[in-house]
Amino acid sequence: MSLLEVHGLNSYYADSHILFDVGLHVERNEVVALIGRNGAGKSTTLKSLMGVVRPRSGQIVLDGVNVAGKASHAVAHAGMQLVHEDRRIFGSLNVEENLVLAGLTADNKWPLDRIYEMFPRLRERKGSRGTDLSGGEQQMLAIARALIRDPKIVLLDEPFEGLAPVIVRDLMKACRDLAAEGQTIVLVEQNLAATLALAQRVYIINNGHIVHEGRAADIKAQPEVLHRYLGV
């Protein structure tokens, strides 16, 4: 049985139908990417999985538990974490408070030292308020805040967006290390090269429909698919 199985997911923003019968599955220790054009429904899919957007219908089975329609805190307790596109760092709390807050209700949380080993920059800035961090540091903190809960699966929404290449390289390494340690990841990212380098399997979403699924290596070899759905 897959770690995450999604069947017939339909989500709306008010009366606008955004996701149409989305279905996907993610195996344990797998890195899966969800790619598509802007507005295709990638972020909405992740938000629907996390319960930030409540889907109107469908099943989201995480490790045997159906979390569809549940509140975000319940989904978090089931073992899922979403790193939001806009990071959503608590600016009035310092780095360590952000991390402590994230781990407050976790059953098995990472020790802070493990977080700081993965992101040494956060140790240096642990007393700094969230608003005083650079974009790259905020992204590290957003990922660290998700990891401290030792989630079964992490959803990363555009983790490299708007960051300097050197920061992207560091974050890519962190993601690779995580994957090597067996962390299951669902990745949404516009940077196609980075995405295909990290992911083992790829779903393409277009206008709220999953239109293609395949191994990342195969997708690279299918430029007509990338051109048709992504325009690249």
Partner 1 sequence: MINWPNFVSQLFNGLVLGALLALISSGLTIIYGTLGVLNLAHGAMFMLGGYAGYVAYTYTDSFILAVIAGSLFVMVAGVVMERVIIRHFYSRSDEDQLLVTFGIGIVMVEVVRFFFGSLSMNVPPPAALSGITSLGFMFYPTYRLALVGIIAVALLALFLVLYRTRIGMIVRAGIEDSVMVDSLGINVYRVFMVVFGIGAMAAGFAGIVNAPVVSLTPDMGDSILVQTFVVVVIGGVGSFPGAIIGGLIAGEIISITSMINPGYSYVMLFAAMTLVLVLRPHGLLGSQSRA
Interface with partner 1 by CB under 8 A: which residues? 50, 52, 71-73, 76-77, 81-82, 84, 88, 90-93, 97, 100-102, 104-106, 145, 149
Q: Report the residue number, 87 or 212, with the smaller CB distance to partner 1.
A: 87
Least CB distance to partner 1 at residue 90 (A): 5
Least CB distance to partner 1 at residue 221 (A): 37
Q: Report the residue number, 76 or 178, with the smaller CB distance to partner 1.
A: 76
What does the block give as tokens for 10? 């339909």
Instruction: Output phi, psi for 131, to 5 deg.
Output: -70, -20
Q: Report the residue number, 135 or 223, with the smaller CB distance to partner 1.
A: 135
Residue type, 123: R
Buried b / exposed e over 141-173, threshold 16 CB at 10 Å, is bbbbbbbbbbbbbbbbbbbbbebeeebbebbbe
Helix (H, G, I), strand (E, B) or coil at 199: coil
Least CB distance to partner 1 at residue 83 (A): 10
- Name residue 7's beta-bridge partners: 59
Q: Report the residue number, 44 or 81, with the smaller CB distance to partner 1.
A: 81
Least CB distance to partner 1 at residue 201 (A): 25
- Name residue 24's beta-bridge partners: 6
